[in-house]
Amino acid sequence: MKQHQQPVILLIIDSLMHKPLEEALRQGHIPALRFFMEHGRYIQEVVSSFPTMSVTIDSTLLTGTYPDRHRVPGLLWYHEAEGRIVNYGNGKRELLKVGIKQTLMDSLYRLNNEHLSQEVKTIHEELALHETPSASVNGLVYRGSFLQQFSIPKLAVWFKLLPQELRTHGPFLFSFGSLARMYAGNRYRYLWQKGGFNDRFSARELKYLIQKQKLPFFTIAYFPENDHSVHRNGPMEVSGIEKADRQLREILDAYPSWEEAIRRAIWVVMGDSGQTFVGASRSLALIHLLPMLSRYRIAKLGQQVEKKDQLYVCVNERMAYIYALDERLPLTEIAAELQSDERIDIIAWKDGDVVQVRGGGKENTLLFRPQGPYQDAYRQTWTLDGDVSLLDIQTDEETIAYGDYPDVLARLYGALYSHSGRYLVITARPGCEFVGESSPNHRGGAAHGSLYKDDSLVPMIICGAADVPRYPRMVDIKEWILTLYKEQNT
Confidence of residue 1 (pLDDT cuts 50, 70, 90): very low
Question: How far is CA 15 from its chain centroid?
Answer: 10
pLDDT mean over 113-122: 98
378-386 own/partner pairs: CB under 8 Å, 24+ apart: 378/407, 378/410, 378/471, 378/473, 380/409, 380/410, 382/409, 386/357
Residues 230-282: tens digit of each pLDDT:
999 999 999 999 999 999 999 999 999 999 999 999 999 999 999 999 999 99
Higher pLDDT, 202 or 194: 202
Asked whether residue 2 carries a pLDDT value surpassing 60, the answer given is no
Asked whether residue 75 carries a pLDDT value surpassing 80, the answer given is yes
Confidence of residue 186 (pLDDT cuts 50, 70, 90): very low
Higher pLDDT, 99 or 464: 464
Residues 34-71: tens digit of each pLDDT:
999 999 999 999 999 999 999 999 999 999 999 999 99
**Minimum mean pLDDT among 21-35, 71-85, 175-189, 245-259: which range?**
175-189
Share of the chain above pLDDT 70, in %: 97
Q: pTM for the whole thing?
A: 0.96
Residues 137-148: tens digit of each pLDDT:
999 999 999 999
For the chain, the domains span 8-72+116-278+451-488, 283-436
> Superfamily assignment of 8-72+116-278+451-488 in CATH?
Alkaline Phosphatase, subunit A (3.40.720.10)
**Minimum mean pLDDT among 96-100, 129-133, 405-409: which range?**
96-100
Per-residue confidence (pLDDT) for residue 195, from 0 to 100: 72
**Minimum mean pLDDT among 189-198, 250-259, 466-475: which range?**
189-198
Residues 301-358: tens digit of each pLDDT:
888 889 999 999 999 999 999 999 999 999 999 999 999 999 999 999 999 999 999 9
Per-residue confidence (pLDDT) for residue 194, from 0 to 100: 58
Per-residue confidence (pLDDT) for residue 302, from 0 to 100: 81
SS (H, E, C) the chain: CCCCCCCEEEEEECCCCHHHHHHHHHHCCCHHHHHHHHCCEEEEEEECCCCCCHHHHHHHHHHCCCHHHHCCCCCEEEECCCCEEEECCCCHHHHHHHCHHHHHHHHHHHHHHHHCCCCCCCHHHHHHHCCCCEEEECCCCCCCCEEEEECCCHHHHHCCCCCCCEEEEECCEEEECECCCCCCCCHHHHCCCHHHCCHHHHHHHHHHHHHCCCCCCEEEEEECHHHHHHHHHCCCCCHHHHHHHHHHHHHHCCCCCHHHHHHHCEEEEECCCCCEEECCCHHHHEEEHHHHCCCCCECCCCCCCCCCCCEEEEEECCEEEEEECCCCCCHHHHHHHHHCCCCEEEEEEEECCEEEEEECCCCCCEEEEEEEEEECCCCCEEEEEECHHHHCEEECCCEEEECCCCCHHHHHHHHHCCCCCCEEEEEECCECEEECCCCCCCCCCEECCCCCHHHHEEEEEEECCCCCCCCCEHHHHHHHHHHHHHHHCC
Confidence of residue 438 (pLDDT cuts 50, 70, 90): confident
